Structure 1
Amino acid sequence: MKKWYNKLFLNDIRKSVENYNMIENGDKILVGLSGGKDSIFLLYSLILLRKNSYLDFNIIGLHIDIGLKIDMESTKYFLTENNIPYIHENIDIMDKIFEDDKSPCYLCSKMKRGAIARISKEVGTNKIALGHHKTDLVITFLLNLIYTGKLDTFKPISYNKKHDLNLIRPLIYVEEDIIKKIVSDENLPLGRGKCPQDKENKRSELDELLKYIENKYPDFQQKTITAIENFSDDNLW
């Protein structure tokens, strides 16, 4: 690991883990691998964290194939090189999610969450790590503010009561541009293939808005995080 990675992103991951008590010694963590940059960066970061901290925890990688047949061979090889178990689960739901009247993304996400929880219990993991990062958090905040009129975004750590699992997001202090850089610089393995729904949507629209704001206010993402973490009922009506 390059020493300057500590300052670039690893210290931020340590900070999120410590601030929200995300990972403890003895944890067994399931990492969902979509084939995209965020999930492979998450896996890479957890490997570095385990090597360069006092924490001793286990990692298992999981890819759920919904029928897209994304080529994950290079990712599988990467996990093997790092002595991390890899699970490839097929749940061919393509016909079902595109036949329904509801959004295919909504149904796909719901079914995948159920499959991840099931597999997590089968292999004995107590936590599921998700690859949502700082930019995701800010865009979700803006989406809720603009489209639903709510001050809301996802939490760093949450508990799934139904499945008795903790969901953790160690990347909440890491911006997307840094993830893109590290994935490129380290040539981290991405899956080959993409979802047919990978197109323009409200999230990509808000991504453009965020870029516009950051041209004038470069620290907007950090200020948004600070505002969320310092939220108090006394500050608002």
Structure 2
Amino acid sequence: MKLQQLMSQTRRAIDDYGMIHTGDKIAIGISGGKDSLTLLYALHGLQRFYPEKFDLEAITVDLGNPDFDLSHIRHLCETMQIPYTVVKTEIAQIVFEERKEKNPCSLCAKMRKGALNDAVKKLGCNKIAYAHHKDDIVETMMMSLIYEGHFYSFPPITHLDRTNLTVIRPLMYVSEADVKGFCRKYQLPVVKSPCPADGYTKRQYVKDLLRKLNLENPGVKERMFSAIINGNISDWTPRIR
């Protein structure tokens, strides 16, 4: 996938749901993975010519793993002239050593989001861009069906009342396969997740299940995605075009 194609799909999502307006200061949560770095490239590219003028901040919540090297990401942000903030935490120690959580993902995500939101507010941002792509949306719907018994996936825009921040998901039309292709083509400095639970989660189970379903029924993921965006899910913002 070329940068121009990535920006085109990202802009379509932003336009369809009115994600960005002039004066927005948008924080990009950088995990170090392929998705968040792809989002960084997409929004940086759009920033130059998008009619609604906005500013960007890049933020990483460091969970406290000693082998988490962010030097290449810092260099990338400097090259793009995007301010980069690393929030130091001890979340990994709390979750895995002190609490010894058998199912660590929920607590880790809650603490990580809390640290991110606090940093975003201090930097004066009013929006946070999450790097959820099309496959994430379908996987979340499947997890909701399998584990909670209802049809749901996270919306393109979420307003967080407690913090008065707005979450946007500009990569919602981009497939994971295209993200991987973009990372390879442009040699993005992806940092391997140091989390010991990586690859052993319910989401990974659902990802593998969907891969099998799509092999046996070509196009099933696309049809599921269409069902989601046309499914009148309660807190989804209607498309404006």
Matches within 5 A, 1:9-20: 9-20=6-17
Match of 2:239 in 1: none
Provide the rounded CA distance (Å) in 2 between the counterparts of 1:155 and 1:186. 29
RMSD: 1.8
Letter in 2 for 1:208: D
Matches within 5 A, 1:1-237: 5-6=3-4, 8-69=5-66, 70-98=68-96, 99-100=98-99, 101=101, 103-192=103-192, 194-232=194-232
C-alpha distance after superposition, 1:24-63 (max 9, x if no partner): 1111000111111111111111111112432321111111
Q: Measured at CA, do residues 48 and 218 of structure 1 come closer, stay the same or move farther in structure 2, by a change above 3 Å?
A: farther
Listed as ranges, the gaps of 5+ residues in structure 2 are 234-241
Q: Measured at CA, do residues 139 and 192 of structure 1 come closer, stay the same or move farther in structure 2, by a change above 3 Å?
A: closer
Shift of 1:188: 1.1
Query: Do 1:72 and 1:192's aligned partners in 2 also have CA atoms closer than 8 Å?
Result: no
Letter in 2 for 1:125: C
Number of equivalences: 230
Shift of 1:103: 2.7
Q: Measured at CA, do residues 17 and 142 of structure 1 come closer, stay the same or move farther in structure 2, by a change above 3 Å?
A: same
Shift of 1:192: 4.9
Provide the rounded CA distance (Å) in 2 between the counterparts of 1:25 and 1:86. 21
Corresponding residue SS for 1:61: strand
C-alpha distance after superposition, 1:43-89 (max 9, x if no partner): 11111111243232111111111111310100000000010000011
Query: Do 1:71 and 1:193's aligned partners in 2 also have CA atoms closer than 8 Å?
Result: no
Provide the rounded CA distance (Å) in 2 between the counterparts of 1:221 and 1:159. 27
Provide the rounded CA distance (Å) in 2 between the counterparts of 1:199 and 1:231. 30
Listed as ranges, the gaps of 5+ residues in structure 1 are none
Shift of 1:134: 0.4
Shift of 1:194: 1.8
TM-score, normalised with respect to structure 2: 0.89
Shift of 1:125: 0.3
* Segments ≥4 residues shifted beyond 4 Å: none
Identity of aligned residues (%): 35
Query: Do 2:17 and 2:156's aligned partners in 1 also have CA atoms closer than 8 Å?
Result: yes
Provide the rounded CA distance (Å) in 2 between the counterparts of 1:13 and 1:138. 18
Higher mean C-alpha deviation, range 106-115 or range 187-196: 187-196
Q: Measured at CA, do residues 232 and 162 of structure 1 come closer, stay the same or move farther in structure 2, by a change above 3 Å?
A: closer
Letter in 1 for 2:153: T
Higher mean C-alpha deviation, range 8-17 or range 100-109: 100-109
